[in-house]
Structure 1
Amino acid sequence: MHVFLPDGKQLELPQGATALDAAQAIGPRLAQDALAATVGGVLTDLQTPLPEGAQISLITKKNPGQAQSVFRHSLGHVMSQAVGEFYTRKGHPREAVKRGVGPSIENGFYQDFDLPEPLREEDLPAIEAIMREIIGQGLDITRSEVSKQEALERFGFDPYKVELISELPDDQAITFYTQGDYVDLCRGPHFPNTGKLPTAFKLTSTSGAYWRGNEKNPILQRVYGVAFASQKELDEYLERLEEAKRRDHRKLGRELELFTIDPLVGKGLPLWLPNGTVLREELAGFLKEQQFQRGYQGVITPNIGNLELYKTSGHYQNYSDSNFSPITVDDEQYMLKPMNCPHHVRIYASKPRSYRDLPVRLAEFGTVYRYEQSGELNGLTRVRGFTQDDAHIFCRPDQLKKEFLDVLDLTVLVLRTFGMNDVRFRVGTRDPESDKYVGDAANWDLAEGQIIQAVEEVGLPYSVEPGDAAFYGPKLDFVVKDVLGREWQLGTIQVDYNLPERFDISYVGEDGQDHRPIMIHRAPFGSLERFVGILIEHYAGDFPLWLAPRQVAIIPIADRHNAYAEELRAELHAAGLRAEVDDSSNRMNAKVRSAELSKIPVMLIVGDKEQEARQVSVRERTPSGHQERKGVGFDDLKAELLERYNSRS
């Protein structure tokens, strides 16, 4: 057989040869240094047989970072072996530890276990120590193929492995990977030896996870780890992890009194506290102003709708797993609203439309409801009831590009207003092999082409993700990277030829005939809940003045300054700024500290000198620390704060 190297050189090898055989044919030093390979651009290990004519590239210890997913997967096996050894040393039989799945993931790996007794967080360092022992032993990691019957016999004690094996075709070769006395069912790939694995890893946490993600199945214990090619990368990641904990929106949400989730109200149903309500309303007000300038009309729709509405739209059938169960009322069935778009279609259909009326732009901050499993709920970023900044544009074909580009401009403006400038643009298209998509293929081709054409016209870099479209149309997603380098999918724009068809809506054209409008679905924030959760972490709770729920704290030095402080508060309040006076009996430094902990952006300190001259001393929070100004005229400061607030600088 023949394979080809990166420089185009052809290598002749025996049938069934592996990447390791290719490395040995080139030279013994390369074979010693080789860790993994790519075959046709796909990562594989050194032991998997190569196909005839394969384009191969070898990965060595000089560039282990090119094989991150491989060494993370191998470290997952080492961790799994170490957990088994941990319980054996505690006196449990080896087969008492049963295992679910254990893939590599971004930045690391995890493994699911059914354990004879729970693993505690404080046990993780002991597991790490055993992992380092296994790495130090330099165990060969070998690949073998077995029949389905052999696999079932080998793992007969483990119901999770038996379930996985039983679902495989009878004639499919099944692969095992072995290191020392540890054997696991696995597709691979893996490093050739535990001694070649990087030691820059750390076990970070444990959690419960339903077997195969189904809440009807047993809960297994999942152990997470992170791993990198170098200690420097690991240290930097752990620092980011600590920073992420400091910025956690659930923690800051409690401390800044923004929102709460009450079990008596229900899981995944946040209650907005007064401070959080201010934040939410500032966001909504900002977007409503932008929409008004762009010709949107506000609408309001109910939180519940007739089941036939969602059957007609297709949301009932296509989102069956995430819909709440229907409710029977007076012999009719209703459902909590999963989407706003069917309601907006019916508003469009409420009267005849002419080509002169289009485009019709309907906008709503509409609350919708989705059933999320309890284990998937997460503060504000994964909830069961949330408000979308939803709008639907009904337009003629000749208006589509302009409307799409205007929505694109609006969404980019929104993100940049909040300092979210690192944006990746992702075009979600249909998967031709899937049957989840509705509508005519020609319309799909047209819609996908129009999105790509619009993105290219404004020169935005983009990727195409087949299978990522909504069931009714392709979309452009805005994937934003926050200050910690994490990616979030926020705004979205969708082009839809199908809902107008399903609801049979039309407009009268210049020719006097009925024509079908095109719909654009758009939501720059995505949802207010998720956007606020991300925003809290992005700013670490240090919101800019215009967005901060508590904008100005006025701190009198002594009780005799309270009346002056209250006078200033009333003037700021009358001007539309959120100001408060700390007239507590605490000393001035304690009052300043309290305002800082509450992340109030501007503190005004007033004493005898300030009161006599109608001035204030200003202490302001900035990204780099604090800025202080003394003897500032109050009227000048009020004008400055108002300008910053109104301009949203």
Structure 2
Amino acid sequence: MIQITLPDGAVREYEAGVSAGDIAKSISEGLARKVLAAEVNGEVWDASRPINTNATLKLLTWDNKEGKSTFWHSSAHLMAEALEAIYPGVKLGIGPAIETGFYYDIDLGDRSITEEDLKKIENKMKELAGTKSEYVRKDVSKADAVSYFTEKQDQYKLELIDGLNDGSITFYTQGGFTDLCRGPHIPNTGFIKAVKLTNIAGAYWRGNEKNKMLTRIYGVTYPNQKELDEYILLMEEAKKRDHRKLGKELELFTFSEKVGSGLALWLPNGAMLRERLQQFLQKAQLETGYLPVITPHIGSKQLYVTSGHWEKYGKDSFHPITTPQEGEEFMLKPMNCPHHCEIYKSSPKSYKDLPYRLAEFGTVYRYEQSGELHGLTRVRGFTQDDAHLFCTPEQVKDEFKKVIDLVLFVFESLGFTEYTAQISLRDLEDRSKYIGSDENWETSENAIIEAAAEKGLKTVTEYGEAAFYGPKLDFMVKDALGRKWQLGTIQVDYNLPERFELEYVDSDNTRKRPVMIHRAPFGSMERFIAVLLEHCAGNLPFWLAPLQVKVLPISDKYNEYAKSVIAALRSEDIRATIDDRSEKIGRKIRDTEMMKVPYMLIVGEKEQENQTVSVRKHGDGDKGAVSIADFATEMRNIVKEQMKGKRKTETNAN
């Protein structure tokens, strides 16, 4: 007999070889029908896999993240089976689950798949799902695995097998389809009731631009049609909110192949939006004791060799820049922290100088593969709202808590009210990926865990997600459509101060190493603006909108009065402009609505005589006529109201 410990602490006894599915059935037939997989001693298994030793067990259903992931990975196998049936000889790459759904990379040779073909593949998937074929796991030797895929002439699977150890290889079979896979999978295909293939894209094999471009088919499946229909509606709304579409409509940013892929060009409206966000955070930082600094866009390669970034990320950085001086090598700056270490080191420090907080809106450059670039969310040049805090070990937790306050202040000020803090720790099974002593890692990990708990944050813990130099707290923000985005981050670092030999003189007159905290509430300006645009569908809060008011004269003869209105508004610090095109007023209103300008002021003969403006609010129509002074007062009140809910930042005690 073996003992199975359930999540509520209850312990049940079963014969060795029992499966999670059997255990679920012993609890409830209804529960058993919902179980997709199981977490056995922290590892996700097939619900049918025998358990032979004492174990902790968590039954996974559609309501669990891991359950959905298993469901979608199994759906990728179902799609591969359908593809083999429709396109004999298709070569298969990999087919993982992703955050929402799955994909499979395939090689069709000289054939191609179009959007019209997706419906045919969907129908075949539904047909195969209806057979309720079991997903059967089988251990195979490396020789047998090579033999199987050699006979099948599938070079991609053979390449994957080449990197696997004999004794660790498993196949999964459902119906007439067999794939190389470590699993896990759902019990049978019958759980898959609703199918939608969503997109076709290109993807280099194994993400390497030197390899062949494969066809990537994305899809999503659900256990019932109702949930799929709801998802499709959500995706239609997401398309309307796509920041790339909004960026074009609102004239915020553009890209140019001549400038280079992944390098955004900010148009006047976008530049104003960025400046407003930057001024907002700079003000908060100055109030909490941060010191502004500016560092160059390039740095000596040796700087990043010292920091350890060259060894870890050199291949993902822009290659060294050579100069006319022989032997000199520079890099486009991939991160700001080494520069800030050198600023710290530029003058002696004592414990009285700490914490020493340096802040910079620093632009950095990292080489993202072209297939991974996506609007503003994946770019090659981006500006971080970066800061590095140097403090004593005793100050770490308090400083960390103050940074948490600042991050939450930013989120709440910009309408992000739902977020989870992810505590990202080391992978305890592979410590070779990290630098620094175990003692320093344990100290910094505990500081993060305690600070998050004392701030009452809703947290999840992820092992293996730490930076190579230290643990971190990543903020996962939920947008208006329920999607999660990783935005702000805070990281504790004992290692860069060691590498750069940073010191301070303590109260006992001994020299000690400071601790370094990295933080970026926005994460990057580009990514944050992309998420913000999609969250609010381009309807930016009035205080942040690049253009707050547009004045629309009914005809050219009222242009001068319109200009006087603009002058009056600008004197009240309201951002306004005129639409003086020789167009009908209806066209001007429609175009301004498309630009999502918060307010339109229409002026004609009556308004000019009465020294008033007729107000239209974006999305809310006509609001009546008011004096210019009254309108300006109302706008100031709106800004005050929008700012009222903000958390007040703590004033630095130093």
TM (normalized to structure 1)? 0.91
Please state how far the C-alpha of 1:35 moved relative to its aligned partner: 6.2
Give ranges in structure 1 of 5+ residues lacking alignment.
Answer: 88-93
Aligned amino acid, residue 51 of structure 2: L
Aligned amino acid, residue 404 of structure 2: L
Structure 1 residues 191 and 314, CA, compared in 2 at 3 Å: closer, same or farther?
Answer: closer
Q: Distance in 2 between matches of 1:39 and 1:342?
A: 42
Q: Distance in 2 between matches of 1:123 and 1:611?
A: 61
Is 1:532 matched up with 2:533?
A: no
Is 1:385 matched up with 2:381?
A: yes
Is 1:352 matched up with 2:348?
A: yes
Q: Distance in 1 between matches of 2:625 and 2:563?
A: 18
Q: Is the 8 A contact 1:258 1:276 kept in 2?
A: yes
1:520 paired residue among 511, 517, 521: 517
1:184 paired residue among 179, 195, 204: 179
Is 1:44 matched up with 2:45?
A: yes
Please state how far the C-alpha of 1:248 moved relative to its aligned partner: 0.7
Q: Is the 8 A contact 1:557 1:587 kept in 2?
A: yes
Is 1:327 matched up with 2:330?
A: no
Q: Distance in 1 between matches of 2:317 and 2:116?
A: 40
2:14 paired residue among 5, 11, 15: 11
Structure 1 residues 566 and 142, CA, compared in 2 at 3 Å: closer, same or farther?
Answer: same
Aligned amino acid, residue 397 of structure 2: K
Is 1:73 matched up with 2:69?
A: no
Q: Distance in 2 between matches of 1:17 and 1:410?
A: 51
Partner of 1:419: 415
Q: Distance in 2 between matches of 1:143 and 1:368?
A: 46
Is 1:270 matched up with 2:271?
A: no
Partner of 1:592: 589
Is 1:634 matched up with 2:628?
A: yes
User: Secondary structure of 2:460's partner?
Assistant: strand
Q: Is the 8 A contact 1:368 1:385 kept in 2?
A: yes
Please state how far the C-alpha of 1:387 moved relative to its aligned partner: 0.8
Please state how far the C-alpha of 1:279 moved relative to its aligned partner: 0.5
Please state how far the C-alpha of 1:34 moved relative to its aligned partner: 7.8
Answer with 224-233 or 268-277: which moved more: 224-233
1:114 paired residue among 82, 93, 107: 107
Q: Distance in 1 between matches of 2:509 and 2:3?
A: 66
Is 1:548 matched up with 2:549?
A: no
Correspondences of 1:467-478 after superposition (within 5 Å): 467-478=464-475
2:564 paired residue among 562, 567, 571: 567
Partner of 2:196: 202
Answer with 350-359 or 267-276: which moved more: 350-359
Structure 1 residues 257 and 438, CA, compared in 2 at 3 Å: closer, same or farther?
Answer: same
Please state how far the C-alpha of 1:115 moved relative to its aligned partner: 0.7
CA shift digits 1:387-430 (9 cap, x unpaired): 11111122233433332222211111011111001011122222
Partner of 2:85: 85
Partner of 2:401: 405
Correspondences of 1:135-154 after superposition (within 5 Å): 135-154=129-148
Partner of 2:441: 444
Please state how far the C-alpha of 1:123 moved relative to its aligned partner: 0.4
Please state how far the C-alpha of 1:98 moved relative to its aligned partner: 1.0
Structure 1 residues 20 and 560, CA, compared in 2 at 3 Å: closer, same or farther?
Answer: closer
Partner of 2:424: 428
Please state how far the C-alpha of 1:38 moved relative to its aligned partner: 2.4
Aligned amino acid, residue 632 of structure 1: V
Partner of 2:98: 105
Partner of 1:166: 162
Q: Distance in 1 between matches of 2:318 and 2:63?
A: 50
Q: Is the 8 A contact 1:366 1:390 kept in 2?
A: yes
Please state how far the C-alpha of 1:84 moved relative to its aligned partner: 1.6
Structure 1 residues 462 and 35, CA, compared in 2 at 3 Å: closer, same or farther?
Answer: closer
Q: Distance in 2 between matches of 1:389 and 1:65?
A: 31
Please state how far the C-alpha of 1:9 moved relative to its aligned partner: 4.5
Please state how far the C-alpha of 1:274 moved relative to its aligned partner: 0.8
Q: Is the 8 A contact 1:324 1:335 kept in 2?
A: yes
Aligned amino acid, residue 582 of structure 2: S
Q: Distance in 1 between matches of 2:56 and 2:333?
A: 52
Answer with 401-410 or 296-305: which moved more: 401-410
Aligned amino acid, residue 201 of structure 1: V
Please state how far the C-alpha of 1:19 moved relative to its aligned partner: 5.5
Structure 1 residues 141 and 459, CA, compared in 2 at 3 Å: closer, same or farther?
Answer: closer
Q: Is the 8 A contact 1:107 1:227 kept in 2?
A: no
Q: Is the 8 A contact 1:204 1:224 kept in 2?
A: yes
Q: Is the 8 A contact 2:317 2:334 kept in 1?
A: yes
User: Secondary structure of 1:416's partner?
Assistant: helix
CA shift digits 1:540-570 (9 cap, x unpaired): 1111122112211111223332221111012
Answer with 416-425 or 341-350: which moved more: 341-350
Q: Is the 8 A contact 1:37 1:56 kept in 2?
A: no
Give ranges in structure 2 of 5+ residues lacking alignment.
Answer: 644-654
User: Secondary structure of 1:319's partner?
Assistant: helix
Is 1:233 matched up with 2:227?
A: yes
Structure 1 residues 50 and 366, CA, compared in 2 at 3 Å: closer, same or farther?
Answer: same
Structure 1 residues 5 and 517, CA, compared in 2 at 3 Å: closer, same or farther?
Answer: closer
Please state how far the C-alpha of 1:604 moved relative to its aligned partner: 0.7
Partner of 2:368: 372
Q: Distance in 2 between matches of 1:71 and 1:189?
A: 9
Please state how far the C-alpha of 1:531 moved relative to its aligned partner: 0.9
Aligned amino acid, residue 544 of structure 2: L
Q: Distance in 1 between matches of 2:542 and 2:389?
A: 33
User: Secondary structure of 2:529's partner?
Assistant: helix
Number of aligned residues: 633
Q: Is the 8 A contact 1:177 1:186 kept in 2?
A: no
Is 1:500 matched up with 2:497?
A: yes
Structure 1 residues 220 and 512, CA, compared in 2 at 3 Å: closer, same or farther?
Answer: same
Q: Distance in 2 between matches of 1:506 and 1:328?
A: 32
User: Secondary structure of 1:526's partner?
Assistant: coil
Answer with 48-57 or 210-219: which moved more: 48-57
Correspondences of 1:258-297 after superposition (within 5 Å): 258-297=252-291
CA shift digits 1:133-164 (9 cap, x unpaired): 22334445444443332322221111111222
User: Secondary structure of 1:356's partner?
Assistant: helix
Aligned amino acid, residue 49 of structure 2: T
Q: Distance in 1 between matches of 2:546 and 2:464?
A: 40
Is 1:486 matched up with 2:483?
A: yes
1:614 paired residue among 611, 615, 640: 611
Please state how far the C-alpha of 1:458 moved relative to its aligned partner: 2.1
Please state how far the C-alpha of 1:598 moved relative to its aligned partner: 0.8
Structure 1 residues 126 and 346, CA, compared in 2 at 3 Å: closer, same or farther?
Answer: same
User: Secondary structure of 1:435's partner?
Assistant: helix
2:309 paired residue among 307, 315, 336: 315
Partner of 1:304: 298
- After superposition, the CA RMSD in angstroms is 2.7
Q: Is the 8 A contact 1:143 1:178 kept in 2?
A: no
Q: Distance in 2 between matches of 1:57 and 1:318?
A: 37
Please state how far the C-alpha of 1:132 moved relative to its aligned partner: 2.1
Answer with 267-276 or 446-455: which moved more: 446-455
User: Secondary structure of 2:256's partner?
Assistant: coil
Partner of 2:207: 213
Is 1:131 matched up with 2:125?
A: yes
Q: Distance in 1 between matches of 2:32 and 2:632?
A: 72
User: Secondary structure of 2:546's partner?
Assistant: coil
Q: Is the 8 A contact 1:148 1:174 kept in 2?
A: no
Partner of 1:579: 576
Structure 1 residues 146 and 460, CA, compared in 2 at 3 Å: closer, same or farther?
Answer: closer
Q: Is the 8 A contact 1:496 1:521 kept in 2?
A: yes
Answer with 310-319 or 47-56: which moved more: 47-56
